């Protein structure tokens, strides 16, 4: 069962590892990120950042879609973390059952503008989020579970 999909360029860190997993009752963090899969050091670091009682899995976006669609994740309370809006869009477009997307943090990059304290989006990313919203996905901006939720 997918508990939450979150966009956070930092992937697994204190807020994700502790606050979010506890808040949503997750027992597995799936990092769906094409860049990390090619970096053994970053993969190892992310796995170490996960709490000892939480399974941490790192896959490409396409492999994540395949694992979810093939039922390999159905016995987990899954918290999916992606590093970008594009990855979230690809992932959610490729699976069913995602009701909400949490925007936790995106870097300032060329061509972005700030829509909240920690969210910086390009025009293309905003278009992807609108498409998800039009498809019925609730888009939330919230850094930690105790913060008030702002809707996109």
Q: So what's the pLDDT on residue 16?
A: 78
Find the distance separating the first CA and the last CA of the chain, reported in whole Å: 24
Q: Which residue has the higher pLDDT, 18 or 116?
A: 116
Fold type of domain 2-146? Fructose Permease (3.40.35)
Residues 13 and 49: beta-carbon distance below 8 Å? yes
Q: So what's the pLDDT on residue 17?
A: 83
Annotated catalytic residues are 13
Q: For the residues 140-150, what does the mean pLDDT come to? A: 94
Q: So what's the pLDDT on residue 59?
A: 97
Radius of gyration of the chain (CA): 14
Strands 78-82 and 120-121 turn out to be: unpaired
Q: Give the C-alpha separation, 25 to 20, whole Å.
A: 8
- Residue 14 clears pLDDT 90, i.e. is over it: no
Q: Give the C-alpha separation, 24 to 47, whole Å.
A: 19
Q: What is the pTM of this model?
A: 0.95
What are residue 125's phi and psi, to 5 degrees?
-65, -40
Residue 102: enclosing H or E segment and its boundaries? Answer: strand 100-105
What are 52-107's pLDDT values in tens digits?
Answer: 999 999 999 999 999 999 999 999 999 999 999 999 999 999 999 999 999 999 99
Residue 117: enclosing H or E segment and its boundaries? Answer: none
What are 116-138's pLDDT values in tens digits?
Answer: 999 999 999 999 999 999 999 99
């Amino acid at each position: 069962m997918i508990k939450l999909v979150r966009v956070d360029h930092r992937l697994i860190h204190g807020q994700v590892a502790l606050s979010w997993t506890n808040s949503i009752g997750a027992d597995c963090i799936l990092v769906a990120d094409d860049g990390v899969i090619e970096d053994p050091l970053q993969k190892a670091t992310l796995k170490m950042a996960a709490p000892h009682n939480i399974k941490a899995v790192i896959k490409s976006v396409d492999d994540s879609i395949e694992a979810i669609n093939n039922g390999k994740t159905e016995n987990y309370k899954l918290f999916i973390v992606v590093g970008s809006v594009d990855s979230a869009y690809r992932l959610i477009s490729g699976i069913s059952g995602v009701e909400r997307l949490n925007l936790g943090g995106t870097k300032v990059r060329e061509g972005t503008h700030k829509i909240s304290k920690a969210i910086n989006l390009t025009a293309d990313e905003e278009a992807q989020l609108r498409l998800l919203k039009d498809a019925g996905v609730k888009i939330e901006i919230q850094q930690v579970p105790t913060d008030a939720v702002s809707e996109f």
